[in-house]
Amino acid sequence: MNAQPSLVVGDPIEILDAAAEPAAMVRFENISKTYPAHRGKPGVVALRGIDLAIARGSITGVIGRSGAGKSSLVRLINGLEKPTAGRVVVDARDISALTGRDLRLAQRSIGMIFQHFNLLSSRTAADNIALPLEIAGWSKADIRARVSELLALVGIADKHDRYPSELSGGQKQRVGIARALATRPDVLLSDEATSALDPQTTRAILDLLANINRELGVTIVLITHEMSVVRQLAKEVVVLDAGHVVERGHVADIFTHPKHPITQSFLAEVTGDSLPVSLAGRIVQEPGGQAVIRVQVRGAGAGDTLIARLARELGLDVSLLSARIDEIGGRHVGALVLGIPGGEGAAARTLAWLSQFQISAERLGYVA
């Protein structure tokens, strides 16, 4: 039998090894991108040695600060930019090697949505959605039928004849999504598509994208600088900084065990790691009273099991000071804040006991 004790069960990480995975929808092979010097401005290295595979049917969030290289990375996927070195393989085709008509044909299977929607103001919602179909040479009747289907899919069947100026931001992005899906792409790229929207509209658009992924099986690559967007929609996360992938993994792992300082700084904005004010104000560093220990938990019910076993096996009168459990990427993750009586020794024994299960825990201090 496996002697390793286990309280935590997780899914395998779904991000694939770039080299090993032929089933990837998108594969970056040792990609570098340098924008050349231009009109006296020096050249810019935007991406450096990226090896990354994006699984077919997945939703991958790409996060990073301004200038990290996010947009450069997605523009390589649809061939809007060419790599300086390396290959970008999309659905087994080397898109970076395609030009002209071959590139335009390949681009029909890769849709894209944008922060500012990029709709033509002189065309109605229906005619904006029709544009890629006109370019692809569809018949008028086929276009009419497909456009109606798409308007219904994105939930704005009643906006057929509206111009962009008559639509809200969320409705404009729905038109953008319908247009991106018109030619039935396998991949949908989203570059900050919710950044111009309020939180409620953002939520609705992210829900729509989740449905599209589930029902149509479209692989989604989502660029954002907001961890809350990643948390709501993505299953896999790639963290970019200064043109490097600095961290990647399942969204639940990234949220519970961020390794890179950049990831940690993004997370600080969104996690409910902050303690209840009433508790935070009482914590002191001199030993005494109860030790306050924060424990990361994963899996529904894991917290209950943990407290019961801890109390029983160490013979401690554990109290629960605060708890927060979220569902992230389909997994339950959260943090418990425990009160442990018995001074420094009991706190140290608790931390040692937890570490045998590879559970992250830290002593925050003591409360009277």
Residue ranges in contact with ligand ATP by CB under 6 A = 35, 44, 46, 64, 66-72, 225
- Structure token digits, residue 77: 């996927």
Residues 298-357, interacting with Mg ion (CB under 5 A) = none
Should residue 190 be labelled a site residue for Mg ion when binding is judged by CB under 5 A? Answer: no
Residue 266, beta-bridge partner list: none
Query: 3-class DSSP state for residue 48?
Result: strand
CB 154 within 8 A of CB 174: yes
C-alpha atoms less than 13 angstroms from C-alpha of 160 in its C-beta half-sphere: 10
DSSP codes joined into one string, 81-100: S--SEEEEEETTEEGGG--H
End-to-end CA gap in the chain: 44
Residue number of the CB atom closest to Mg ion: 71
Instruction: For strands 290-298 and 361-367, give the pairing.
Output: antiparallel
Count residues near Mg ion (CB under 5 A).
2
- Rounded CA-CA distance 71/78 in Å is 11
User: Which is nearer to ligand ATP, 133 or 239 (by Cβ)?
Assistant: 239
- Rounded CA-CA distance 13/150 in Å is 33
Question: If contact means CB under 5 to 8 A according to the sort of partner, which of ligand ATP, Mg ion, none does residue 69 touch?
Answer: ligand ATP
User: Which is nearer to ligand ATP, 43 or 330 (by Cβ)?
Assistant: 43
User: Which is nearer to ligand ATP, 68 or 77 (by Cβ)?
Assistant: 68
CB 114 within 8 A of CB 176: yes
Question: If contact means CB under 5 to 8 A according to the sort of partner, which of Mg ion, ligand ATP, none does residue 256 touch?
Answer: none
Which among 99, 117, 119, 68 is positioned nearest to 246, based on CA atoms? 68
User: Which is nearer to Mg ion, 71 or 194 (by Cβ)?
Assistant: 71
CB 183 within 8 A of CB 133: yes
- Rounded CA-CA distance 231/237 in Å is 9
State the nearest-atom distance from the C-beta of 81 to ligand ATP, in Å: 8
State the nearest-atom distance from the C-beta of 309 to Mg ion, in Å: 47
User: Which is nearer to Mg ion, 230 or 295 (by Cβ)?
Assistant: 230
Instruction: Write out the E strands in 187-243.
Output: 187-191, 219-224, 236-241
State the nearest-atom distance from the C-beta of 238 to ligand ATP, in Å: 12
State the nearest-atom distance from the C-beta of 191 to Mg ion, in Å: 6
Q: What string marks each residue from 31 to 70 as x (binds Mg ion by CB under 5 A) or -?
A: ---------------------------------------x
CB 117 within 8 A of CB 173: yes
State the nearest-atom distance from the C-beta of 230 to Mg ion, in Å: 15
Residues whose CB falls within 8 Å of the CB of residue 50, separated by 6 or more in sequence, listed in order: 28, 30, 31, 32, 73, 86, 243, 244, 245
Question: If contact means CB under 5 to 8 A according to the sort of partner, which of ligand ATP, Mg ion, none does residue 159 touch?
Answer: none
User: Which is nearer to ligand ATP, 56 or 260 (by Cβ)?
Assistant: 260
User: Which is nearer to ligand ATP, 46 or 310 (by Cβ)?
Assistant: 46
Residues 65-94, interacting with Mg ion (CB under 5 A) = 70-71
Question: If contact means CB under 5 to 8 A according to the sort of partner, which of Mg ion, ligand ATP, none does residue 72 touch?
Answer: ligand ATP
User: Which is nearer to Mg ion, 71 or 202 (by Cβ)?
Assistant: 71
Residues that bind Mg ion (CB under 5 A): 70-71
